[in-house]
Every structure is written in structure tokens, then in C-alpha cells.
Copies of this chain bind each other. A is one copy, B any other.
Amino acid sequence: MQPSDSLREQMIAQYDAMSAQLQQAARYVLEHPQDVALVSMREVARHAAVQPATMTRLAKFLGLPGYDELRAQYAAALRDGGDGFAAKVRKRVVEGSERGVSDIASHMLQGLSAQLAKLCEPDSLRRLEAAADRLKSARKVYVLGLRSSHAVAWHFHYVMTLLGERSVHLDGPGGTGGDALVRATSEDVLLVISIKPYATGALELAQLAKAQGVGIVSITDSEVSPLVALSEQAVFCPTESDSFFHTLTPALAVSEVLCSLLAEFDRPKTLEALQQADEHLLHLNTYATAIPRRR
């Protein structure tokens, strides 16, 4: 699957010596080796968000006569990776169900993969869509997730912030998280994430919000979750895993899908908000692509 290896390794080795654009191109090539073999250079460049010329420059940087040679290498790799030798080895690893440490991992990941696939069933999709609709009609979205669900709640809130949406994360030091709800009205919606075992605090806050007339949308794990009774809309996600604890991965996926649907709803606005965020973070030097020099 990899081009003669030497090329791939060379790219990784010399990555730090490349210019920013070259790195961007190289990164895409490393992550999408099939594309290099299967689509035209200009299209690869478009996907990598890079000028066409940069792809040529990348090839030359690697010591090749031109881009065509690069493509040829990847094509050759894809040829005998497709149904040749490497494929069988790979298959044997998958089939070979021997006990081992990596077996636990593999089994778990396959399970998670299947769970996400299951979320594509019509009922789930309907619920996702309904939940997104309800959320987008809200003036303000309060997000609540305690204990393990905190990660999901926080991530949802973080993405919503980037999208410029009015999102309030019900969390704070010293148990003050729920205070922000005092100003919530019936025009607002509370998104509450809770899976078994359900945190008492989350249920109480949700109930309180509902009493205030706030609409409730929930991400939870079952039709018989206590949240269902409180919610206008509920999305269900599996949490079982063959480990000691419940998995949050499907819940996070659901929340990301919700974000995506909301973002898709008004693309221009989303794009503008993202650009604004980009500029802001750029000025703050929030991000880096290489190891910062120590001072």
C-alpha cells in the first residue's frame, strides 16, 4: 500500500526541511496515497488545498524528475498492494483470532466501528435530524454533561463556539455550573448528555430547566433513560463495550454529527464564523505546525 517505502520514509524524514506549502502537500500525500495514484495532480492539489505547482515542486524536492514519476511510484505500490502479497498478510492478521494484547484492542475497535454503523439506521437518523432541528430553532443552547459525559458536552460546546453559535456550557468551578440557567427561557434549549449511570446532578438540572419552560434535547443511551421523560427530542447511542467501562465514543460521534448538521444548515454563516475564529486564533499564536523554539 505504500510506495516502495523509500519514498514514504524519505518524505517523513525530510518533512521538517520542507517549506510550509510543501509540508501541506506532503502530508496530504502521506495520508491519501490512493489519491495520488488514482486522480490527477490538479485534483490532488485541490484536495490538499495547495497550488498545482506545489505538487510538482514536491516531486522535485524528493529528487524525482517530475510529478509523473511520483504518481507512477504510488500506482505501482497500489498495484501489488491491491490483491497481491500484502493483502493476504493483512487478511491473515484479521482472521487470525489468537489471544493477545492487540486482540483486545482490535476487538474493541471493531465493536465501536459496528456501533457507529448501527447509528445509520433510519430511526437514529430521524432522531438526529429532529434533534438538530430543535437545536437550530433555539435562541441559545445550554449544554450539560456531568462526569463521563463532560467530555462530550465540552466538545459540543467548543465546536459551537467556533461556529459562532450562542452556546453556554453549564460547568464551572465549585459546583456553580448550573447558575447560568437562571436566565434561560422557553426560547432556549438545553442539550443534556447523560448515559448510565446517570449523574443525579444532570437530571436535577434538566428537570429544573424543564420547569422553567426550557426545551430539552438529550443524548442518552436508552429509550428507558430517565432523560426521555424530560426531553422533547432524544438521540440514543450505544455505550456497551467489552471493556470494564462504558464507551463514550458513539456519544461523541452523535454530538459531532449534530454540530455538523447545525453548521450545514447555514453554510455562509458558518464559513464566516470559522474565518473569524481563524483570524482571532492566528493573532493569538494559538497554533503551531512545528515544535516551537524554546526561549
Contact = CB atoms under 8 A, between A and B. Distances in A.
A23 to B, nearest CB: 7
Interface residues of A, number: 112
B113 A116 contact: yes
A152 B129 CA distance: 26
Nearest to A117: B113
Contacts of A15: 224
| Of A244, A247, A261, most B-chain CB atoms within 10 Å | A244
A128 B105 contact: yes
A110 interface: yes
A83 B34 contact: yes
A65 to B, nearest CB: 18
Interface string A256-292: 1101110110000011001000000000011111111
How many of these chains are in the complex?
Answer: 2
A245 B162 contact: yes
Interface stretch (A52-60, A179-187, A192-200): A192-200
A126 interface: yes
B92 A117 contact: yes
Interface of A: 1, 11-12, 15-16, 23, 26-27, 30-31, 34, 37-39, 75, 78-79, 81-85, 87, 89-94, 96, 100-102, 104-106, 108-110, 112-114, 116-117, 119-122, 125-126, 128-129, 132, 147-148, 150-152, 154-155, 158-159, 162-163, 173, 196-201, 203-204, 207-208, 211, 222-224, 226, 229-230, 238, 240-241, 243-245, 247-249, 252-253, 256-257, 259-261, 263-264, 270-271, 274, 285-292, 294
14 contacts: A15-B224, A16-B229, A26-B224, A34-B79, A34-B83, A93-B122, A101-B264, A109-B116, A116-B249, A147-B158, A151-B151, A196-B289, A197-B286, A249-B249
Please name the 9 residue pairs, one residue from A and one from B, whose CB atoms are nearest each other, closest first. Answer: A243-B260, A197-B287, A102-B125, A151-B155, A113-B116, A151-B151, A113-B117, A84-B90, A15-B224
